């Protein structure tokens, strides 16, 4: 798009279906490489990706031509396919429906990058549910608890 100038930074957060702790450190780097590839193929800039066994955080520089829902759908599909084809889990793998997205000013990038890089340390003291509801509240995003997480019975 000629004469289009933008600077958009988006943090994307999504969880394993049922909030199961299925992502293993032995293959998470391969998972992150596949996700990085999808993001780059779609013309977006991956800044940082990290997570823990039950969810991941992705920070991207997003172009205005990108449809974020389509991008996340493609990331989830490719990563689902990888995990299931490689049989990284003993059961079928799926991501939870939906995702969170949070926009940041360039002046906040260093803080957000460090936060994402330190996910494993952060989650030694805080649950994903607490982290996610804190983000939603901090960004004044209304939600109802009963629709926030799907849990395996």
Question: Rounded to 5, what percent of the chain is helix, strand, coil?
Answer: 45, 20, 35
| Among 24, 146, 148, 125, residue whose Cα is nearest residue 82 | 24
Q: Which residue has the higher pLDDT, 152 or 114?
A: 114
pTM score: 0.92
* E-strand stretches of the chain: 8-15, 45-52, 55-62, 100-104
pLDDT (tens digit per residue) in 39-80: 999 999 999 999 999 999 999 999 999 999 999 999 999 999
pLDDT (tens digit per residue) in 90-149: 999 999 999 999 999 999 999 999 999 999 999 999 989 899 999 999 999 998 887 777
Tokens 């013309």: give the residue.
43
Terminal-to-terminal C-alpha distance of the chain? 48
Residue 33, CA atoms < 13 Å, CB-side half-sphere: 6
In angstroms, the CA 126 to CA 24 distance is 19
- Given a cut of 50, whether residue 153 has pLDDT beyond it is no
| β-bridge partners, 8 | 62
Vertex 54, ends 127 and 43: CA angle to 5°?
Answer: 115
């Amino acid at each position: 798009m000629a004469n289009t100038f933008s600077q958009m930074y988006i943090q994307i957060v999504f969880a394993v279906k049922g909030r199961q702790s299925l992502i293993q450190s032995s293959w998470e780097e391969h998972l992150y490489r596949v996700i990085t590839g999808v993001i780059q193929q779609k013309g977006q800039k991956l800044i940082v990706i990290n997570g823990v066994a039950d969810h991941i955080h992705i920070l991207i520089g997003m172009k205005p031509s990108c449809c974020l829902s389509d991008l996340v759908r493609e990331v989830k599909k490719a990563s689902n396919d990888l995990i299931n084809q490689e049989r990284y889990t003993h059961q079928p793998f799926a991501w939870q429906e939906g995702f969170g997205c949070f926009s940041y000013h360039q002046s906040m990038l260093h803080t957000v990058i460090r936060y994402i890089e330190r996910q494993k340390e952060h989650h030694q003291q805080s649950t994903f549910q607490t982290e996610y509801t804190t983000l939603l509240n901090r960004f004044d995003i209304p939600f109802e608890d009963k629709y926030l997480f799907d849990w395996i019975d």
